[in-house]
Amino acid sequence: MKTQQLILEALNLPTNAITYYVSQELAALYPKKALLEGSDYAFDLEKYAEANFCTIKTSDTYIHNQIISGWDGMENKIDNSTENGNFEVTWEGYNLDVLLISFQDGYCKTRAYWILADSKDIAENFFAAVCEWNSEVRSEILVFEEGYWSKNIELFESIQNASFDNLILPSALKQEIQDDLAKFFDSQETYEDCGLPWKRGILFIGSPGNGKTHAVKALINKMQQSCLYVKSLKSEYENPHHNIRQVFQRARQSAPCILVLEDLDSLVDAENRSFFLNELDGFAVNTGIAILATTNHPERIDSAILERPSRFDRKYYFELPSLTERVAYINLWNNKFQPAMRLSETTITQIAEKTDGFSFAYLKELIISSMMHWMQTMEAGEMEKSIFSQLAILQQQMNSATVESRATKRSENSGE
């Protein structure tokens, strides 16, 4: 059996026989070489080589290397990745060979690889170095979705624009939130000296559109700690228990870090609650992990999670903005307007008084819709007319939504 035939022969086999067949053939072909086999996604050889930690070249003499090209519309460039191929690797003075094979296993794609080296130590040290480097969280956010972690540079970059300077909250609440996490990350020795586990759980509670997500982003930006963000604990091919374990295992590896659980009420349900609690507050040690969770619906969260302090030590409530906060928010926008759009202090006060019950999200919609309406004429003084007309439209929408919501609740309560 020649090396160049391995991939073709292997891919013609049943999926449960591919990796064993390749391992067996490689061991027979290279009896004097150490062989390491794996399928861990952290072993991204090409990314490691791009960072100049090793050099790789494809072994065109022996095997056809299948390169998959994709178009990155955000960066306007072509991304290439090897689907099947053989690499000659130079790393820290050692020469290694890496064989990569990709195949469909049910609905999932599996990427298996084999490292050939002169000794077991060289193979294992190289494998560990590649996986460790790829597992580090640098200028990116780790996002968990569909049962696996991926690095998201775009989310990280969007967070760089979030700060507490452009977040309108009661000043005491804003400062307390910042101090809470800052003191936690600065107090490892104090926790240990007092015999307390160095971990923290913080829960933001409030109706949608009142600044919870902005506060989360601003905290991540300010703390400058590794961040792991959980979008969903559900996936098509793994059960939630497995995914919860994956989440907390990676958080423990990344500590100190911030683990974000947005919309906690939708992440944790009756089926996975006990498993979640075990990972959150069981025998496993969550040293150095600050869990930052949010919820729009605290009534949907089990009291075992919501009420026990050792799980979420502090709860911060994000209420609808007060008159003072509404004035501050409108002024924040007004200061960015070009001169022809500027609102008078009298108009700002009137709008703030008429928007009692508006969330920050609704206030933002009021500002943006008014700006779009103003752009039809772009005349000085027209912005004030625009904002009052858009206010009337939004108030009507809010009243209609309230009536519909009450009707739905009555229907549910009557069992119709």
CATH number at residue 90: 3.30.310
Domain limit, last residue, from 102, 136, 170 = 136
Tally Cβ neighbours within 10 Å of residue 279.
19
Shared-domain flag, residues 299 and 222: yes
Best CA proximity match to 320, nearest among 355, 295, 293, 289: 355
Per-residue confidence (pLDDT) for residue 1, from 0 to 100: 45
Shared-domain flag, residues 285 and 337: no
What average pLDDT does the structure give for the chain? 89
Per-residue confidence (pLDDT) for residue 167, from 0 to 100: 92
Which pLDDT tens digit goes with each residue over 125-182?
A: 999 999 999 888 888 999 999 888 888 988 999 899 899 998 999 989 999 999 999 9
Best CA proximity match to 253, nearest among 289, 229, 280: 289
For residue 271, is it within any domain? yes
Q: Compare 24 and 239 and report the one with higher pLDDT.
A: 24
Report how far residue 144's alpha carbon sits from residue 247's, in angstroms, rounded to the nearest whole number. Answer: 7
Name the strand (E) or helix (H) holding 192.
helix 188-193
Q: What letter does residue 60 receive in the DSSP assignment?
A: T
For residue 409, is it within any domain? no
Which token pair is 302? 């089990």
Report how far residue 156's alpha carbon sits from residue 225's, in angstroms, rounded to the nearest whole number. Answer: 12
Domain that residue 51 falls in: 3-136
Model confidence at 307: pLDDT above 70 = yes
pLDDT tier for residue 296 given thresholds of 50, 70 and 90: very high
Per-residue confidence (pLDDT) for residue 407, from 0 to 100: 53
Shared-domain flag, residues 177 and 278: yes
Diameter over CA atoms, the chain: 86
Instruction: Name the one residue in this structure whose structure tokens are 């869990």.
Output: 291
Query: Among the ranges 137-151, 218-232, 276-290, 301-315, which has the highest mean pLDDT value?
Result: 218-232
pTM, two decimals, is 0.81
Question: 3 with 86: CB under 8 angstroms?
Answer: yes
Name the strand (E) or helix (H) holding 66.
strand 66-72
Shared-domain flag, residues 67 and 105: yes
Q: What is the average pLDDT across 4-14?
A: 85
Tell me, rounded to whole angstroms, the distance of Cα 112 from its chain centroid: 26
Q: Compare 76 and 343 and report the one with higher pLDDT.
A: 343
Q: What is the average pLDDT across 186-209?
A: 94
Report how far residue 352's alpha carbon sits from residue 363's, in angstroms, rounded to the nearest whole number. Answer: 9
Shared-domain flag, residues 214 and 180: yes
Report how far residue 170's alpha carbon sits from residue 44's, in angstroms, rounded to the nearest whole number. Answer: 46
Report how far residue 92's alpha carbon sits from residue 128's, in angstroms, rounded to the nearest whole number. Answer: 14
Per-residue confidence (pLDDT) for residue 62, from 0 to 100: 52
Question: 168 with 328: CB under 8 angstroms?
Answer: yes
Per-residue confidence (pLDDT) for residue 324, from 0 to 100: 95
For residue 60, is it within any domain? yes
Shared-domain flag, residues 203 and 343: no
Report how far residue 283's alpha carbon sits from residue 163's, in angstroms, rounded to the nearest whole number. Answer: 36
pLDDT tier for residue 334 given thresholds of 50, 70 and 90: very high
Model confidence at 413: pLDDT above 90 = no
Report how far residue 3's alpha carbon sits from residue 268's, in angstroms, rounded to the nearest whole number. Answer: 49
Model confidence at 411: pLDDT above 60 = no
Q: What is the average pLDDT across 292-311?
A: 89
What total number of domains does the chain contain?
3
Question: 11 with 19: CB under 8 angstroms?
Answer: no
Q: Compare 281 and 237 and report the one with higher pLDDT.
A: 281
Shared-domain flag, residues 60 and 123: yes
Shared-domain flag, residues 313 and 330: no
Report how far residue 6's alpha carbon sits from residue 323's, in angstroms, rounded to the nearest whole number. Answer: 72
Per-residue confidence (pLDDT) for residue 85, from 0 to 100: 87
Residues 6 or more apart whose Cβ sits within 8 Å of residue 14: none
For residue 412, is it within any domain? no
Report how far residue 257's alpha carbon sits from residue 220's, in angstroms, rounded to the nearest whole number. Answer: 10
Report how far residue 92's alpha carbon sits from residue 53's, in angstroms, rounded to the nearest whole number. Answer: 8
Question: 321 with 351: CB under 8 angstroms?
Answer: no
Residues 6 or more apart whose Cβ sits within 8 Å of residue 258: 181, 219, 220, 223, 225, 226, 227, 228, 290, 291, 292
Which token pair is 183? 């003191």
What's the CATH number where 257 sits?
3.40.50.300
Count CA within 13 A, CB hemisphere, residue 350.
10
Question: 208 with 359: CB under 8 angstroms?
Answer: yes
Shared-domain flag, residues 104 and 166: no
- In DSSP terms, 116 is beta-bridged to 35, 97
Question: 363 with 395: CB under 8 angstroms?
Answer: no
Report how far residue 275's alpha carbon sits from residue 69's, in angstroms, rounded to the nearest whole number. Answer: 40
Name the strand (E) or helix (H) holding 51.
none
Model confidence at 236: pLDDT above 90 = no
Helix (H, G, I), strand (E, B) or coil at 227: strand
Shared-domain flag, residues 49 and 91: yes
Shared-domain flag, residues 127 and 163: no
Per-residue confidence (pLDDT) for residue 96, from 0 to 100: 97
For residue 346, is it within any domain? yes
Rg value, the chain, Cα: 28
Shared-domain flag, residues 158 and 303: yes
Question: 396 with 388: CB under 8 angstroms?
Answer: no
